[in-house]
Amino acid sequence: MKVLVGVKRVVDANIKVRVKSDGSGVETANVKMAMNPFCEIAVEQAVRMKEAGTVSEIVAVSIGGPQSQETLRTALAMGADRAILVETDQEVQPLAVAKAFKALCEKEKPGLVIMGKQAIDDDCNQSGQMLAALLGWPQAAFISKIEISGDSAQITREIDGGLEKLSAKLPLVATTDLRLNEPRYVTLPNIMKAKKKPLENVKAADLGVDVAPRLTTVKVAEPPKRSSGVKVADVAELVQKLKNEARVI
């Protein structure tokens, strides 16, 4: 079975994000970039399934500028067999991602698509669900476990009330949650091997996909700074402050 795995280039999760002075977005110039953490989990899951003999080929896919090749090379170093970069210089929103993946699914004919449940830059949590809708495939969001048996998948997913177990027919679109696995450390030998693995560049227009943004960002602002706390002598003073100063009771 072939698996398509989505990976996205985002600001490193350990970097403090700074808003641009004009409020048009966040600063990315001279900022360390990395693979989206949820996408790392998706790649790791695909690699583990290949090691178990369930998957025969892993294709990593990213949508963005030429710099996204670095992210794809990381996916190749983790264990993906080949990579595809859908190159565009425009801001890529969830619907555009879903359309591009739909075109690639029709071309590659995978049995499973694994994506991170969300990206840490826009936090949209939409691409996987939109892709499933466009393809007419079953979907399993926020999965914490997946097992393939024949032409179906047994899935455990996290919900507010606990864990939900599902069974779905393949082909399937799945999005990963944090507790699905812990991504492996990429070793230097595998990084060197990844340089020789095939990486295909295609233009979004060549796929017949319009990736023009449908939404406009009006303004990006940092959250307001919290004022320092104060100590109170007793419960009566706390109630007085909550009632007269904070006005929450």
Q: Where are the domains of the chain?
A: 2-218
Mean pLDDT, rounded, of the chain: 92
pLDDT of residue 181: 95
pLDDT of residue 247: 85
**Per CATH, domain 2-218 is 3.40.50.300:** no
**Band (101; pLDDT cuts 50, 70, 90):** very high
Q: pLDDT at residue 143 above 90?
A: yes
| Contact call for residues 101 and 61 (beta carbons, < 8 A) | yes
pLDDT of residue 230: 85
Cα dihedral: 37, 43, 46, 52 (round 10) = -90
**Band (41; pLDDT cuts 50, 70, 90):** very high
Q: pLDDT at residue 127 above 90?
A: yes
Please calculate the CA angle 181-187-188 and round it to the nearest 5 degrees. 160
pLDDT of residue 77: 96
- Edge-to-edge strands of the sheet including 112-116? 162-169, 152-159, 139-149, 172-176, 112-116, 2-6, 57-64, 82-87, 199-203
SS (H, E, C) 137-157: CCEEEEEEEEEEECCEEEEEE
**pLDDT 10s digits, 108-124:** 999 999 999 999 988 89
- Stated pTM of the model: 0.86
Percent of the chain having pLDDT more than 90? 70
Cα dihedral: 77, 37, 45, 109 (round 10) = -80
CA–CA separation, 245 and 2 (whole Å): 61
pLDDT of residue 142: 93
Q: pLDDT at residue 223 above 90?
A: no
**pLDDT 10s digits, 66-88:** 999 999 999 999 999 999 999 99
Q: pLDDT at residue 221 above 90?
A: no
